[in-house]
């Protein structure tokens, strides 16, 4: 089946309190948030995703250029209205439409592939991604049938009963739709009485009322579904991304004396048997060869170090290529 990806990136991001930068261009691990979303789409389909842009759209286009197709949501009238803007670009071009937001940089291709696979196994209008939260607050609760079966609906926290607020399964805001059902269904959505906006969550109830079974895939990692709406969320995502990167390197044979203080950006490569001391920062497209030692609080940006190099404490290097076995001592410090 032909899969199309739609990424919702039109939000104003008012809670970021930025005077000049759209929310989806705020950096995480040295890269704008939206870059993670577009890279994720490229792992699922060779076709460029459709990006729904709005606030700061020209800046987003200038950054991504031809890596996406663009449609404009001139007024922010809800997620359902945002997706409706993509209809003209995708009608009759895809069997399945996968939808997620550009402010969810920690989503993984594995979870999205599983979502698409479950949808294909249980053909219907839609399948959604959910998460079991340790402390469920602020998100729509998933209502299931007896015995935890099919999804019956989503109730927003503000409208939930005390019993429903105890439900720990939350809507992640990620959906796989059957295209032939989706586009007519979007036309049937009505604005919320409270805010006058049109929401994708209402499609779940609509599908149930139409007599269809709605299935959900539960993500195994709660951090995947973190949406970035504030600077605090951004810091939480940085911490999670750092843990993921450091764990992968540790499992691949790299020694870190103190992983909690070691900062490595996503495009960095570190070969096995290298040792990273506390406070090391490896940025950009730095490559560390096998058996290197990087001293405490060294900072390397876009540096290629051959095997067996030694970088002393506090050394700062940018845009350099180091032959194998290079030794760079720290600046001279006076000692009595």
Question: What residues contact residue 284 under an 8 Å CB cut-off, 6+ apart?
Answer: 30, 265, 267, 268, 301, 302
**Nearest to 238, CA basis, from 258, 265, 267, 259:** 265
DSSP structure class, residue 243 = H
Per-residue burial over 238-249, b = 16 or more CB atoms within 10 Å of its CB, e = otherwise: eebbbebbbeeb
Helix (H, G, I), strand (E, B) or coil at 112: helix
Query: Has 15 been annotated as catalytic?
Result: yes
DSSP 64-89: HGGGSEEEE-SS---HHHHHHTTHHH
Distance of alpha carbon 142 from alpha carbon 151, whole angstroms = 7
Give the integer Cα–Cα distance in Å for 96 and 99. Answer: 10
For the record, the structure tokens of 303 come out as: 């540096």
| 70 within 8 A of 61, measured Cβ to Cβ | yes
Whether the Cβ atoms of residue 318 and residue 335 lie closer than 8 Å to each other: no
Task: Express the helix, strand and coil content of the chain in percent, nearest 5 each.
Answer: 30, 25, 45
Structure tokens at 61: 């286009």
Residues labelled catalytic = 15
């Amino acid at each position: 089946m032909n899969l199309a990806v739609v990424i919702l990136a039109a939000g104003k991001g008012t809670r970021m309190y930025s005077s000049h930068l759209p929310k989806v261009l705020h950096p995480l691990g040295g890269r704008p948030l939206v870059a993670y979303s577009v890279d994720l789409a490229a792992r699922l389909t060779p076709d460029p995703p459709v990006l729904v842009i709005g606030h700061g759209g020209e800046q987003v286009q200038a950054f991504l250029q031809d890596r996406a197709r663009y449609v404009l949501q001139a007024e922010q009238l809800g997620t359902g209205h945002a997706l409706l803007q993509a209809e003209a670009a995708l009608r009759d071009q895809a069997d399945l439409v996968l939808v997620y937001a550009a402010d969810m940089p920690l989503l993984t291709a594995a979870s999205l592939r599983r979502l698409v696979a479950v949808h294909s196994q249980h053909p219907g209008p839609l399948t959604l991604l959910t998460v079991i939260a340790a402390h469920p607050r602020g998100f729509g609760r998933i209502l299931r049938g007896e015995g935890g079966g099919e999804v019956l609906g989503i109730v927003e926290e503000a409208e939930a009963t005390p019993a429903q607020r105890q439900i720990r399964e939350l809507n992640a805001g990620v959906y796989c739709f059957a295209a032939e059902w989706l586009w007519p269904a979007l036309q049937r959505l009505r604005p919320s009485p409270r805010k006058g906006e049109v929401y994708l969550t209402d499609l779940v109830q609509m599908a149930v009322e139409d007599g269809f079974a709605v299935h959900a895939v539960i993500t195994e990692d709660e951090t995947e579904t973190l949406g970035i709406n504030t600077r605090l969320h951004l810091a939480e995502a940085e911490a999670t991304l750092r843990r993921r990167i450091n764990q992968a390197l540790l499992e691949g044979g790299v020694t870190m004396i103190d992983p909690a203080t070691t900062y490595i950006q996503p495009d960095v490569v570190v070969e096995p048997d290298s040792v990273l001391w506390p406070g090391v920062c490896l940025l950009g497209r730095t490559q560390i060869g096998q058996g290197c030692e990087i001293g405490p609080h060294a900072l390397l940006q876009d540096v290629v170090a051959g095997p067996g190099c030694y970088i002393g404490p506090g050394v700062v290097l940018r845009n350099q290529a180091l032959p194998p076995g290079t030794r760079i001592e720290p600046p001279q410090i006076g000692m009595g």
